[in-house]
A and B are shown apart, each in its own frame.
Chain A
Amino acid sequence: MKSEAHIEVEDIHKIYPDGVQALRGVTLDFQRGEVHGLLGENGAGKSTLMRILFGQIRPTGGRILIDGSQVDFGSPRDAISHRIGMVFQHFMLVSSFTGFQNIMLGLETGRGSKTQGEIRRSATALADRLGLKVDFDELVEDMPMGERQRVEILKLLVRNVDLLILDEPTSALTPFETEELLKIMKRLKEEGKTIVFVTHKLREALSACDRITVMRKGMKVDTVPSKSVDLRSLARMMVGREVLSEVRKGAANFGKVLLEVSDLVAFSDTGREAVKGVSFQVKEGEIFGIAGVAGNGQKELVEAITGLRRAESGSVRVDGVEITTKSPREIYDLGLAHIPEDRLSRGVVLPLSVKDNLLLGLQSKPKFEQRMIVKERAVEENARTLIRDFSIAATEKSPVKSLSGGNIQRVVVAREFSKSPQLIVASQPTTGLDISATQFVRGELLKMRDERKGVLLVSSELEEVMGLSDTVAVMYEGKFMGVKRPEELASDEVGLMMGGVRVEQ
């Protein structure tokens, strides 16, 4: 099977239009006929790199070589014509079409195109040889996730793809389906295909891959043969040796329980069990941090706690009151504030002004409403105060869409803090913020804690969770892998838990 370089990427840089530097010079190679793992936390640059390789986005600098000659992709179509294909985490299938119609899609016209019968025969032959069990005539919407994925893979194989990029392919699968997929990958490898397996799951990476490249913060840490590493060293490479506790904070002094979650189960939008029986407490004066790679159920957990998603079972108590059957408004009235993960799509209303956004969720409070009419003067007064106190660089009348990301988050934070909550749920509160805005938000959360409020902090930025929290839990596939005080956690232990390895509590 060894060993010609199939694809090489050299010194790839990517700076997004908003100035985010996603890749800072990555050089690596994929050998023909290997399964190559790409491992890293959120924001490490894995997806950006793969989307560049698939022609979806253009690199800011660097080059790509296939079998030694340079290529330049303007679109995924170019990539496919160079025999590179990608299966996305969220499948790109037409759910009202059958499996075969999806495979055919885009092949039906053009000069010298094969007939349907020919394509069907070759697809069937491929599927049989590789053990890709697909019912060609079943509608995709009726298929389980694993079968949909096999349709995606077959779709690429019919297009003669040699390099398959699988982006987090096991995240939507059941354990049995995962087993199946790993077998298929092995067979594909025996056929001489190259597979890039993007993941954050350490065990899967170790068992399925020949070599593993670990990325962190837009750079390659190293490429290692999987035989020469173990879970612990991979975890260390992934997380790095950051200074984990540099935020100064006073001694912890917990009071009564403000939030009590027990055996909570919640489903994702696609009906998968995303939160699988989680229990924890947040007390007065405590920052309870939940770390973990995004997409492991944190979003669903937060939404179930804030009333935006139905809990399937289990209970959530805010200040002793059961809230799983209450509406978001009733939950806010119990003293809960929420800094949502997706601030643009949930936290603000972009076309409305700063003052109207600072009113969001408070519109029916007597302070701002009198006999169904908005008290305009109070709203303006409130906006001026918050703009000053939270240093929002805008006037009360500017539409929020004209603000920078950092200022938009300041608007959200200002509004949520102005509710004078007992308990604040902050989800990815500093993602995409510049340093000063980040410091500001973290400072405000610590201030809440020191005022003996409760804080539930959910963040995929490890540094943040470790630095701010009094208690840390690591979430993986809908469960907590461990709950500890941050001082007691070694960085490789966190890495292990993030990669799905349970650590003794």
Chain B
Amino acid sequence: MSSRLPSKDRLSKVLQSVAIIVFGFIVSGFIMLAVGYDPIAAYSAMFFGSAEKGMQGAFGGIYGITSTLREASFIILTGLAAQIAFSAGVFNVGVEGAMYLGAFVSFMCAYVFSAPAGSALGVLHALFCIFAAMVAGLLWMCIPAFLKIKRGAHEVVTTIMLNYVATYLTELLVVKFFLPTTGIPPGGIITPEISKSAQIPQIDFMGAKLNLGIVPTILVAVVMYIVIKKSVLGYSIRVVGANPNAAKYAGIDVGRIILFVMLAGGAMGGLAGAIAVQFTEYRFDQSFSPGYGISGIPVALIGRLDVLGIILAGVFMSALHVGAQSIQPVTGMPSQISLFIEGVIVFAAAMPGAFDILRTYIRPKGEKNE
């Protein structure tokens, strides 16, 4: 299908993206110079850490790598959720809300029920909790989807508002029903631990704990690749995204496609929530997400709406984020500046993808013949 680009075109896209990322690093470097820090030292700390300060950066040791992979699994998922929506011309910002709701439902199912850990029933329990989280995310996304299809409410507005509803709703539930047993800080707004049977163990990997969240993430990526590139559904999604009029003319039900991409995004958000609870924290921590759901949008753009690209972009963004935390201890640069630099690089990296979208959805208005 057409999205399998001729290799030359694909190569030029990769080069373009790499060039602009390098540009982002250079600009950030000048900013650091201007405020009096050594950019080389900062970037080195970011990616490789510093042994004497005990920091590993994003890739400078086994702890760095496992942290990077853990974060990557979340934002690859939310990136894929953003991508499938973008492909149909929908701007789904509601993955964060779906993720919170999914996390809470996953927690409830994992907390209320239990089964003998390690038994077949235990595995079933764990799978059931993950499934329930996905359904929760999916149902949650029905709200903005129906508002859009039936009433024409723009999804950006409704999904952003619903994100607040979901995060505060879960916070309320935790504060009301679980905090009395778990106590407030230093733990934060957290629930008790879930049943052992629903916990997916972190495996020992050269002394560090490797989170298995990357496994379902890669599975989803493979399914997405097949759906978007090989299936009739994917073809229909791309037609709707590029030209809804032509889609209607071709007998494609545009409303159903929009519904599908939004609900699929909701399910992926729900899955990300289950990964946070069952693969990572083993409880519901109200502050588990530093904005994974929103990060999906730049990840989808940096990955140029391509499944493989999104996997790379997810690892890249997660490395930036994890690595930035090493800059302050190593170089003494205030964390505000490292956050700022992270932002500059992400912004630069997302530009080509953003232009791709502008080119597809906004057509130049030239002189028109009579």
Give the B-binding residues of A (Cβ under 8 A). 16-18, 20, 22, 42-43, 45-48, 57, 306, 308, 327-329, 332, 338, 340, 345-353, 355-356, 359-361, 363-364, 368-369, 372-374, 376, 379, 397, 399, 432
Contact = CB atoms under 8 A, between A and B. Distances in A.
Nearest to A348: B246
Given A16-B367, A22-B369, A348-B246, A374 B251 contact: no
Contacts of A306: 249
Given A329-B251, A376-B1, 15 more contacts: A328-B249, A345-B245, A347-B249, A349-B243, A351-B2, A352-B238, A356-B2, A356-B238, A359-B235, A360-B239, A360-B250, A361-B250, A363-B250, A369-B232, A397-B6
Contacts of A345: 243, 245-246
Interface in B75-104: none
Contacts of B369: 16, 18, 20, 22, 48, 432
B2 A397 contact: yes
Interface string B229-240: 011110110110
Given A351-B242, A376-B1, A397-B2, A346 B249 contact: yes
A66 B279 CA distance: 79
B186 interface: no
A345 B363 CA distance: 11
A352 B230 contact: no
A363 B238 contact: no
- Interface residues of A: mostly helix, strand, loop or mixed? loop
Contacts of A373: 226, 230-232
Nearest to A342: B245
B204 interface: no
A381 to B, nearest CB: 14
B332 interface: no
7 contacts: A16-B369, A349-B247, A352-B239, A353-B1, A356-B238, A360-B246, A376-B1
For the side of the interface on B, what is the size category?
A: 20 to 34
A47 B251 CA distance: 35
B16 interface: no
A332 to B, nearest CB: 6
Contacts of B367: 16-17, 57
A412 B233 CA distance: 22
Contact of A349 (B1, B232, B246, B370): B246
Nearest to A379: B1
B236 A350 contact: no
What 10 A-B pairs are tightest by C-beta distance, nearest first? A329-B251, A353-B2, A361-B250, A47-B370, A360-B250, A349-B243, A349-B242, A346-B245, A328-B251, A356-B2
Contacts of A353: 1-2
A308 B231 contact: no
B249 A372 contact: no
Interface in B337-365: 360
Contacts of B249: 306, 308, 328, 338, 340, 346-347, 360-361
Interface in B206-227: 226
A42 B235 CA distance: 37
B144 to A, nearest CB: 24
B366 interface: yes
A22 B2 contact: no
A363 B235 contact: yes
Contacts of A364: 232, 251
A346 B232 contact: no
B248 interface: yes
A374 B1 CA distance: 9
